[in-house]
Amino acid sequence: MRYAPVILTGGAGSRLWPVSREYYPKPLLPMFGDNTLLQETLLRLDGLGGLAAPLLVCNEEHRFLVAEQVQSLGRTADAIILEPEGRNTAPALTLAALTLAEADPATLMVVMPADHVIADREAFL
């Protein structure tokens, strides 16, 4: 059985305006230190064994920022799925599920929103 992390990097973060904006949403911002929330989410995968490379879902407008942040950690993504327009969580997860099912229908998704703050990494693992 294959476990694939699916990292959701969308959301305008309107409650954090003006820090978080439409073209620079909160997962792509360093909120608590040098790393962005997306980068912290990617680093959180280090303690979880047996996972495939992550699949990231983001808005078309953010694709280069997301790819740059993944590469800055020396990581690779299985794929970056582009949403033509943000429609919240269910459509993003549907795109991810369809993409993963094409490769291996038995794949299980490990869904990880990139805008969560998890201070106690050991408790998370």
Question: Number of structural domains, the chain?
Answer: 1
The predicted pLDDT at position 13 comes to 56
- Sorted by sequence, the CB contacts under 8 Å of residue 88 that are 6+ apart come out as 10
Q: What is the pTM of this model?
A: 0.87
Query: Residue 104: which domain range?
Result: 3-124
CATH number at residue 72: 3.90.550.10
Q: According to the model, what pLDDT value does residue 18 have?
A: 53
> Over the chain (125 residues), what is each successive 10-residue block's mean pLDDT?
91 54 75 91 90 94 94 96 85 95 94 89 79
Q: Which two tokens stand for residue 18?
A: 């003006």
> In this predicted structure, what is the pLDDT of residue 123?
83
pLDDT at 23: 62
Q: What is the pLDDT of residue 12?
A: 55
List the structure tokens of 110. 């490990």
pLDDT at 14: 57
Which of 80, 45, 57, 50 is closest to 10 using CA atoms?
Answer: 57
Helix axes 63-72, 37-44, angle to 10 degrees: 50
CA-nearest of 82, 79, 70, 84 to 100 is 79
